[in-house]
Amino acid sequence: MSKLKKAIGLSSALLLSACVVQPNVVNNYDERCHVVKKKVELSVEQLEFFGALDCSDGRDCKDVFISEILGSAVVFPVSAIVSGSIALVGNTVFWLQEQGQCLSDKEANSNT
């Protein structure tokens, strides 16, 4: 592998490694159906993996640094997959709930 490819891979790992994807529930009121609409949105949050390295010698620092890079490079894609799945299921449930409430509200208004 060339030095350029290694540098690009390390740079992208460092840029993404300090981030995680987090699901957040957002509420909005729908005037038409008179219900509170909920939606799961994903946000990217920054973490600090690379604190002050407290090492006794250069070898220890190198090992700690490499392990933090490898560990944090795994965190971003895993958090994106898990949070994306939570958002997909949550938004499906919220949409079904909203449709049921909106239909029952329309039926109640048509009967009066």
pLDDT tens digits in sequence order for the chain, 112 residues long: 577 766 666 565 555 556 788 999 999 988 887 788 899 999 988 776 555 556 666 666 777 677 777 777 788 888 899 999 999 999 999 999 888 877 766 666 666 5
Note down the domain range covering 73: 3-111
Entry field: residues in the chain: 112
Question: Are residues 47 and 20 in contact, defined by beta-carbon separation less than 8 angstroms?
Answer: yes
How does DSSP assign 20-80, residue by residue?
A: EEEEEEEEEEETTTTEEEEEEEEEEEE---------SSHHHHHHHHHHHHHHHHHHHHHHH
Count of domains for the chain? 1
